[in-house]
Amino acid sequence: MKLYYSPGACSLASHIVLAEAGAHYEIEKADIRAKKTESGGDFTAISPRGAVPVLVLADGEVLTEGVAIMQFVMDSVMPGALPAAGTLQRARLQEALNFVSTEVHKTYSPFFRGLEGAAKEAQVALLNSRLALVEARLGDGRSYLLGEEFTPADAYLFTVTNWSKGVGHDLSGFPKLEAFRARVAARPAVQAAMKAEGLI
């Protein structure tokens, strides 16, 4: 398998999951603005949308969308590690992944377009309202979003909340989330993925 990524982008979550699963994989950086791969290839020939993450399988099949990639990796490399399809726990995983994707990830996105003034204040308020829901979820003392087991949803939440620093967003009002982030950051697979992307 080969993962195309952009350092620190949402593709980091897929990279973390590949490392957590102990998968055999390669990585290649993609410049998502220039639409070129690190080796000089046309990234849109691999992924017409020109977005990361992209996972190319051994047979040449191309899989996009982090939520799909992360579950595929875990199900194929570590069968049974995730809750079984059709169970409430699998639905809870889907719930968490979709919440991070649609309510947290997408709430960070406007910051990268240079928000200022009242528009930025409104976006900060919206992001804080989303993160308050995460803070409440973690308020029962659980280590991760679904309990005591680390899942792809945790890799995804860690990845997108990393962006707070870069956009000037203060996470100090969310102590449970900050403790969660420290736990995730300390995991060996997370350290390995971040080092490979030049983030630490």
Mean pLDDT of all residues in 27-54: 97
Residue type, 55: L
Same domain, 98 and 129: yes
Same domain, 61 and 96: no
Total of domains in the chain: 2
Q: Which among 20, 16, 42, 17 has a CA at the least distance from the CA of 31? A: 42
Same domain, 168 and 96: yes
The three-state DSSP-derived secondary structure of 114-127 is CCCHHHHHHHHHHH
CA angle, 27 then 146 then 128, to 5°: 85
**What is the spatial distance between Cα 104 and Cα 117, in angstroms, rounded to a whole number?**
21
pTM above 0.95, yes or no: yes
Same domain, 92 and 179: yes
**CATH number (domain holding residue 109):** 1.20.1050.10
Same domain, 172 and 131: yes
Mean pLDDT of all residues in 58-79: 97
Same domain, 6 and 42: yes
Same domain, 125 and 40: no
For 2-18, how does the pLDDT look when each residue is reduced to its tens digit (9 = 90+)?
A: 999 999 999 999 999 99
Can you give the pLDDT at residue 105? 98
Query: Is residue 114 classed exposed, middle or buried when 0-12, 13-18 and 19+ CB atoms within 10 A define those classes?
Result: exposed
Q: Which among 57, 62, 50, 55 has a CA at the least distance from the CA of 28? A: 55
Can you give the pLDDT at residue 22? 97
**What is the spatial distance between Cα 187 and Cα 190, in angstroms, rounded to a whole number?**
5
Which domain range does residue 33 map to?
A: 2-80+189-196
For 72-110, how does the pLDDT look when each residue is reduced to its tens digit (9 = 90+)?
A: 999 999 999 999 999 999 999 999 999 999 999 999 999
- The Cβ of residue 113 has, within 10 Å, a number of other Cβ atoms equal to 8
- The Cβ of residue 91 has, within 10 Å, a number of other Cβ atoms equal to 12
Can you give the pLDDT at residue 56? 98
Check pLDDT > 90 for residue 114.
Answer: no
Same domain, 41 and 125: no
Same domain, 34 and 95: no
**What is the spatial distance between Cα 97 and Cα 79, in angstroms, rounded to a whole number?**
19
Instruction: Give the number of residues written for the chain.
Output: 200
3-state secondary structure of 152: helix
Same domain, 38 and 72: yes
**What is the spatial distance between Cα 157 and Cα 189, in angstroms, rounded to a whole number?**
15
Strands 2-5 and 26-31: parallel
Residue type, 91: A
Same domain, 101 and 74: no
**CATH number (domain holding residue 61):** 3.40.30.10
For 118-165, how does the pLDDT look when each residue is reduced to its tens digit (9 = 90+)?
A: 999 999 999 999 999 999 999 999 999 999 999 999 999 999 999 999
Mean pLDDT of all residues in 175-184: 98
Same domain, 118 and 182: yes
Cβ neighbors of 58 (< 8 A, separation 6 or more) are 1
